[in-house]
Amino acid sequence: MKFMKLILQKLISMSLKNDKINSLYEKVKGNFGYYCFCTLVVMYLYGIVINSFCGATNIFYTGVNEKTFSMNPFVCIGAVFTPEGLGVLVFIAIMYILISGKWTYLITGVKITKDERNFFVSSEGTHGTSGWMTKDEQKKILLSDTADKLPTPILCKMKGNDSGNGYLGLRTDSGLNKHILIYGATGAGKSRGFVKPYILKMVQMKNSGQNPQSMIIVDPKAELFEQYSEFLRDNGYVVKALNLLDMENSDGWNCIGETQGDVDMVQSVAEIIIRNTSEDGQKADFWDKAEGNLLIALILYVQSMRDPITNELLPLHERSLGTIYKILSSESAKSLDMKFQRLPLDHPARGPYGIFKQAASNLWGNVFIGLGSRMNVFQNKLVDKITKYHEIDLELPGKEPCAYFCIISAQDTAYEFLSSLFFSMLFKKLSDYARKHGDERGRLPVEVNFVMDEFCNVGKLLDFKKTISVVRGYGINCQIVVQSIAQLSDRYPVKEWEEIVGNCDTQLVLGCNDMMTSEYISKRCGNVTIQLTNSMAPQTPLFSPITREVTGYRETKSNNQRPLMYPEEILQMDNKECLLLLRGQKPLKGLKIIPDELSSYKELKYTRVSEYVPGWHEIEEQQKKKTTTVHYNFVYDEPEDDDEPIPVKEEKPKQKDIPKASQKPQQIILDFAEDEIVGAETDEYKETDINNIFD
């Protein structure tokens, strides 16, 4: 009686669980008529069996010749509710509970489930409460639908779901941030299994009427640009490329223009250049600090360079990082010091230059050489050109849908400081724009996603651990793709990498080859309580001359601890599988996705990066046709006869005397190349004898 009472209490408590009722309701409500029909059919068939059994019993005991088989649906369905019908149902239920082991759960509340790896997991939780995410838990945090209909980026797809609607994405009301950290060893499918489907899904979301989002994409081999640039442009995105692999096909980006009037950003630029051109792990010493102050002073000086005639700022393409390298390579420390001495006392460059001058004068040359060595990449004319012209607006992705590609080399580290500068300044400019011009919540009008494949090859970003923790509030999300924890910790050592990982609420493991990553993921998955069964059977020889008392068969069960996944199990994961780790949730083992599974994959148009012609090419061609920058105009008469002397009429220009003209002058503009104009900011330039220019 007590046993039946316990079972009844458990059944009542189970029936009161809202999640079970809700899940059953969600399953049935769409096909209520179908399920009702199936239930009646089962009851009818079961009633036929019960009715025949009862009829046969009556005949056996009474000897009355009665019909034992009836097809009448009312009679058959009614037989289900007879004592015999209900008794058989109870018997079947009890046998199922006993055979399946459900009785232990009903009595003790401890659920025992068998893992696919052939061990039993106990819900008792004495040694760990981790486990795989259940379907009910998935519904609370994840959306499930077909690849094209899912309204959020696809993370993975469910195992064992062949219906086509098992693609999973994060719910918008999940409370988790959109930062994603993806681990994948070489060949694990980082680009194919995440980056490419992510780009396609973003375009689908935009075309389905959702708020469009911009993408800043790291492209290690120009593969993504060649496959997706035309597709993105056709779908209304502004496409730009900072190509550090094939610079002839790169849009121009002048960081001097981005820092105009912002001393704080100038300091950040100098720090990024110094950090990314120093040896790994090297601490800042005297030389780094001296070179940093000199670089800050030179950037502020170049920012303010003016035309000596019009007193207007020089065109931006004449004020670039390449200009700084030319100053370092052509000016002596003494001549540069004279230029800085002529600057107004309130000029922003005088402060950092004054700190640089605190060093002994005999060390200035060494500082010049050190800084020049850091910037020797500007000897490359293409590097000078793409950092001279300014075609990439860093604030535009926050205003309208943009797709910016940063094409980097995975082998050559010489240009890492340029990619690091690009991303660090993007974060800064977009955050400032959101703060000043965002919506009422301080978010960008257009959300921006940084899809950073091969993140560790971008270069070390300035204060990235702080950046990733605050940009979420501005509508900026980071999708960070790394090969391993070891690679990330090498680029961001000590505890910095842990802060970056801790700011990503979603982690996707596509596969790994190193123990550091596998051990970290194993600990991240947690421990489970497993049930061990120990059995002992008597081992007595069949024909033993010695008789002794032998204990009988014994079986004991105990709980023990086990990692949900051992490191070696993570290393041996099937190449089609992945692990999805969400903050506050149990791990989920799913399947990787490929871009072919989205219908928009068929719309891709392949184009070669070598066919991309940036706008600065046209400017270069125009400058070749002219002899270039105009600083002086000379007006002459053209005589009617070659032998006739030129009559001269004196005119008074604003700055200097110029040759005189006749009453019918024809104006001829003589333009001098930039290389012929020396000391544009100094008195030496103003005192140049014009007649010497013609010699």
Spell out the SS3 assignment of 3-66: HHHHHHHHHHHHHCCHHHHHHHHHHHHHHHHHHHHHHHHHHHHHHHHHHHHHHHHHHHHHCCCC
**Structure confidence at residue 552 (pLDDT):** 65
Q: Does 172 reside within a domain? A: no
Same domain, 363 and 269: yes
Question: Would you tell me how many other CB atoms lie within 10 Å of the CB of residue 550?
Answer: 10
- Give the separation between CA 185 and CA 518, rounded to whole angstroms: 11
At 503, the pLDDT band (50, 70, 90 cuts) reads very high
| Final residue belonging to a domain, choices 611, 642, 659 | 611
* Strand order across the 402-407 sheet: 142-145, 167-170, 154-158, 588-591, 577-582, 506-509, 180-183, 476-482, 447-452, 213-219, 402-407, 238-243
HEC readout, 589-615: EEECCCHHHCHHHHHCCCCCHHHCCCC
Which is more confident, 401 or 28?
A: 401
Tokens of 667: 């104006």
**CB contact at 8 A, 390 and 253:** yes
Residue 13 one-letter amino acid? S
- Give the separation between CA 287 and CA 284, rounded to whole angstroms: 8
**CB contact at 8 A, 219 and 408:** yes
Q: pLDDT digit string (tens) for 363-421?
A: 888 999 999 999 999 999 999 999 999 999 999 999 999 999 999 987 778 899 999 99
- Give the separation between CA 144 and CA 169, rounded to whole angstroms: 7
Same domain, 606 and 627: no
Residue 19 CB partners (closer than 8 Å, separation 6+): 136
Average confidence score pLDDT of the chain: 83
Q: Whose structure tokens read 């068939």?
A: 45
- Give the separation between CA 156 and CA 212, rounded to whole angstroms: 22
Q: Which whole-number Å values give the CA distances from 275 to 74, 291, 364, 418, 609, in the listed order? A: 86, 11, 21, 12, 30
Q: Does 586 reside within a domain? A: no
**CB contact at 8 A, 375 and 328:** yes
Q: pLDDT digit string (tens) for 540-566?
A: 665 656 555 555 667 777 889 999 999
Tokens of 364: 């200035």
**Structure confidence at residue 549 (pLDDT):** 55
| Residue 282: DSSP 8-state | P
685 class by beta-carbon count within 10 Å (0-12 exposed, 13-18 middle, 19+ buried)? middle
At 61, the pLDDT band (50, 70, 90 cuts) reads very low
Residue 330, SS3 per DSSP: helix
- Give the separation between CA 671 and CA 627, rounded to whole angstroms: 6
Tokens of 518: 């596998």
Element (H, E) at 527: strand 527-536
**CB contact at 8 A, 595 and 601:** yes
Which is more confident, 625 or 488?
A: 488
Q: Does 406 reside within a domain? A: yes
Same domain, 469 and 342: no
Same domain, 413 and 437: yes
Q: Which whole-number Å values give the CA distances from 80 to 49, 76, 77, 102, 407, in the listed order? A: 9, 7, 5, 25, 72
At 279, the pLDDT band (50, 70, 90 cuts) reads confident
Q: Does 687 reside within a domain? A: yes
Same domain, 198 and 281: no
Same domain, 479 and 407: yes
**Structure confidence at residue 628 (pLDDT):** 47
Rounded to 5 degrees, what are φ and ψ at 386?
-75, -20
| Final residue belonging to a domain, choices 109, 139, 154 | 109
Residue 630 pLDDT greater than 80, yes or no:
no
Element (H, E) at 258: helix 255-258
Which is more confident, 632 or 32?
A: 32
Residue 86 pLDDT greater than 70, yes or no:
yes
**Structure confidence at residue 686 (pLDDT):** 38
Which is more confident, 475 or 20?
A: 475
Instruction: State mean pLDDT over 113-137.
Output: 88
**Structure confidence at residue 689 (pLDDT):** 39
At 56, the pLDDT band (50, 70, 90 cuts) reads low
At 525, the pLDDT band (50, 70, 90 cuts) reads very high
**CB contact at 8 A, 357 and 293:** no
Same domain, 416 and 491: yes
Residue 672 pLDDT greater than 60, yes or no:
no
CATH number of domain containing 604: 3.40.50.300
Which is more confident, 529 or 281?
A: 529
Q: Does 582 reside within a domain? A: no
Residue 298 pLDDT greater than 90, yes or no:
yes
Instruction: State mean pLDDT over 223-229.
Output: 97
Element (H, E) at 96: helix 83-100
Question: Would you tell me how many other CB atoms lie within 10 Å of the CB of residue 72?
Answer: 13
- Give the separation between CA 431 and CA 437, rounded to whole angstroms: 10
**CB contact at 8 A, 429 and 393:** no
Same domain, 99 and 16: yes
| Residue 680: DSSP 8-state | T
Report the candidate in 512, 577, 454, 567 with the shortest Cα–Cα distance to residue 185.
Answer: 512
Pairing of β 180-183 and β 506-509: parallel
- Give the separation between CA 628 and CA 672, rounded to whole angstroms: 6
Angle among Cα 222, 227, 231 to the nearest 5 degrees reads 130
Q: Does 372 reside within a domain? A: yes
Same domain, 466 and 601: yes
What is the C-alpha radius of gyration for the chain, rounded to an integer number of angstroms?
38
Residue 306, SS3 per DSSP: strand
- Give the separation between CA 102 and CA 41, rounded to whole angstroms: 28
Q: Whose structure tokens read 């205003």?
A: 399
Same domain, 26 and 40: yes
Question: Would you tell me how many other CB atoms lie within 10 Å of the CB of residue 509?
Answer: 26
Same domain, 484 and 603: yes
Instruction: State mean pLDDT over 269-277.
Output: 92
- Give the separation between CA 350 and CA 120, rounded to whole angstroms: 73
Confidence (pTM): 0.77
**Structure confidence at residue 28 (pLDDT):** 62
At 147, the pLDDT band (50, 70, 90 cuts) reads very high
Question: Would you tell me how many other CB atoms lie within 10 Å of the CB of residue 473?
Answer: 15
Percent of the chain topping pLDDT 70: 79
Q: Does 88 reside within a domain? A: yes
**CB contact at 8 A, 516 and 484:** yes
**Range of 402's domain?**
177-243+392-504+594-611
Q: How many domains does the structure of the chain reveal? A: 4
At 213, the pLDDT band (50, 70, 90 cuts) reads very high
Q: pLDDT digit string (tens) for 568-602?
A: 999 999 999 999 999 999 999 999 999 999 999 99
**CB contact at 8 A, 274 and 290:** no
Residue 489's Cβ-side half-sphere holds a number of Cα atoms within 13 Å equal to 9
| Final residue belonging to a domain, choices 390, 424, 456 | 390
- Give the separation between CA 426 and CA 420, rounded to whole angstroms: 10
Q: Does 419 reside within a domain? A: yes
* String of DSSP letters for 376-426: GGGGSHHHHHHTTS----SSGGGTS-EEEEEE--SS--TTHHHHHHHHHHH
Rounded to 5 degrees, what are φ and ψ at 404?
-100, 125
**CB contact at 8 A, 306 and 312:** yes
Instruction: State mean pLDDT over 340-367.
Output: 92
* Strand order across the 120-122 sheet: 112-114, 120-122, 527-536, 554-563
- Of the segments 151-160, 308-317, 502-511, which one has the largest average pLDDT value? 502-511
**Structure confidence at residue 648 (pLDDT):** 44
Angle among Cα 527, 528, 531 to the nearest 5 degrees reads 145
Same domain, 618 and 629: yes
